[in-house]
Amino acid sequence: MTTATDQSPMALSITGATKHYASGFTLDDITFDLPSGYIMGLIGPNGAGKSTLIKLILNMIHRDAGEIHVLGLDNIADEEIVKENLGVVFDSSYFIETWTVNKVEQAMAPMYLAWDHAAFDGYLTRFGLDRKKRVKELSRGMQMKLMLAVALSHDAKLLVLDEPTSGLDVLARDELMDILQNYIADGERSVLFSTHITADLERAADFITYITRGKLYFTGPKDEFEESFRLVKGGPDDLAPDVKGVAVGIHRYETGFDALVRAEDLGKIAGLKAGEGRHWTAPLTAEPASIDDIIRLTNTSDAAYAMEVA
Amino acid sequence: MKLIISSVSGEPIYEQIKNQIRASVLNGELKAGEALPSLRKLAKELRISVLTVTRAYNELADEGVVQNIQGKGTFVMDKGNELMRNQLESQARASLAEAVCAAKAVDIPLADLETMLAEEYQKDVAS
Measure in Å the smallest separation between the Cα of A75 and chain B Cα atoms: 27
- Say if pTM beats, i.e. exceeds, 0.90: no
8 Å CB contact between A252 and A187? no
Distances (CA, A) of A102 to A93, A212, A283, B60: 15, 40, 64, 51
Mean pLDDT lowest among A28-37, A209-218, B23-32: B23-32
Dihedral, CA of residue B112, residue B118, residue B122 and residue B123, to nearest 10? 50
> Looking at residue A303, what is its pLDDT?
54
Question: What residues have CB less than 8 Å from A227, skipping those under 6 apart?
Answer: A263, A288, B12
Asked if A278 and B102 come within 8 Å (Cβ–Cβ), the reply is: yes
B14 interface with A at CB cutoff 8 Å: yes
User: What's the pLDDT at B78?
Assistant: 85
Three-state SS for A149-165 is: HHHHCCCCCEEEEECCC
Closest CA to B13 of B22, B26, B2, B3: B3
- Structure confidence at residue A207 (pLDDT): 96
Q: Check if the beta carbon of residue A235 is closer than 8 Å to that of residue A283.
A: yes
Task: Read off the pLDDT of each residue in A285-291 and give the average, rounded to a whole number.
Answer: 88
Q: State residue A230's pLDDT score.
A: 92
Polymer length in residues for chain A: 310
| Cross-chain Cβ contact A205/B49 below 8 Å | yes
- Measure CA A205 to chain center: 8
Mean pLDDT across A134-140: 93
Contacts of residue B16 in chain A, CB cutoff 8 Å?
A: none
Contacts of B50 in chain A (CB under 8 A): 37-39, 184, 206
Return d(Cα B24, Cα B1) in angstroms, integer.
7
A32: exposed, middle or buried (Cβ count in 10 Å: 0-12, 13-18, 19+): buried
Average pLDDT rounded to a whole number, residues A132-153: 93
Give residue A301's pLDDT: 63
Q: Is the dihedral of CA B98, B28, B49, A16 positive or negative?
A: positive
- What does the mean pLDDT of chain B come to? 88
Lowest mean pLDDT among A52-61, A282-291, B68-77: A282-291
Residue A181: closest CA among chain B residues belongs to which residue?
Answer: B44
Residue A281, pLDDT score: 59
pLDDT of residue A5: 43
* Gap between the Cα atoms of A121 and B80, Å rounded: 54
Percent of chain A with pLDDT over 90: 65
Cα distance between residue A34 and residue A191, in whole Å: 9
Strand partners, A208: A41, A220
3-state secondary structure chain A: CCCHHHHCCEEEEEEEEEEECCCCCEEEEEEEEEECCCEEEEECCCCCCHHHHHHHHCCCCCCCEEEEEECCEECCCCHHHHHHCEEEECCCCCCCCCCEHHHHHHHHHHHCCCCCHHHHHHHHHHHCCCCCCEHHHCCHHHHHHHHHHHHHCCCCCEEEEECCCCCCCHHHHHHHHHHHHHHCCCCCCEEEEECCCCHHHHHHCCEEEEEECCEEEEEEEHHHHHHCEEEEEECHHHCCHHHHHHEEEEEEECCEEEEEEEHHHHHHCHHHCCCCCCHHHCCCEEEECCHHHHHHHCCCCCCCCCCCCC
Contacts B13 to A, Cβ<8 Å:
203
CA–CA separation, A305 and A302 (whole Å): 8
CA A60, chain centre distance (Å) = 19
CB contacts, 8 Å: B98 with chain A: 277-278
pLDDT digits (tens, 9 = 90+) for A209-243: 999 999 999 999 998 998 899 999 998 888 888 89
Measured distance CA(A232)–CA(A260) in Å, rounded: 6
On whether any CB of chain A is under 8 Å from the CB of B104, the answer is no
A144: pLDDT strictly greater than 80: yes
Minimum CA–CA partner of B41 in chain A: A185
Domain B13-76 has CATH 1.10.645.10: no
Q: Does B54 touch chain A (CB under 8 A)?
A: yes
Note the pLDDT of residue B125: 58
Q: Residue B95 pLDDT > 60, yes or no?
A: yes
Q: Is A290 exposed, middle or buried (0-12, 13-18, 19+ CB in 10 A)?
A: middle
How confident is the model over A179-214, as pLDDT tens digits?
999 999 989 999 999 988 888 887 789 999 999 999
The domain limits of chain B are: 13-76, 82-124
pLDDT of res. A22:
92
pLDDT at position B6: 85
- Tell me the average pLDDT of chain A: 88
CB contact under 8 A, B51 and A202: no
